[in-house]
Amino acid sequence: MNDQEIIQALMENEKPFGLMSKEMQDKANDIEVGAFQIYNCLPQPKAAWETVLNGRFQLGNVYRLRPDYEQEPEVVKHLNMKYFVLKPEAKSKHDAYASASQSAMCTYADNIREIDPDFAREISQWAQGEAVKQARL
């Protein structure tokens, strides 16, 4: 099964965790437990699905993804970091990555100008200087 099929199967699941396929168990463990509901059959006759607040999956319990669950796009999952590195120095006149970095640096400088004008000026000058070098390539 592909990722989307596993997500769909987890949304429709009616099997105890221990009877789910290994790939479904693995995917469930990759997803935060709060994204799941657990079937609570104890308050008979009002058995119902309830949101799992915390804990770990128990083999005998039945879990399914909440109906409002939305999978994060693949690119977002891998961008879980504290720092983002920009590279304003261009390799060619049409280096889109360098241009984007220069633009981002200028925007950042504009946003911090009131709290740190000296640093903002240095960042702007650096980005603008690299843009001039890039135009001459």
pLDDT bracket for residue 77 (50, 70, 90) = low
Instruction: Give 6-65 as a DSSP string.
Output: HHHHHHH--SBGGGS-HHHHHHHHHS-GGGEEEEE-SSTT--EEEE--SS---TTSBEEE
Residue 64: is its pLDDT beyond 80? yes
Residue 9: is its pLDDT beyond 90? yes
Residue 43 to residue 136: CA distance in whole angstroms: 75
pLDDT digits (tens, 9 = 90+) for 13-59: 999 999 999 999 999 998 888 889 998 877 666 778 888 877 888 89
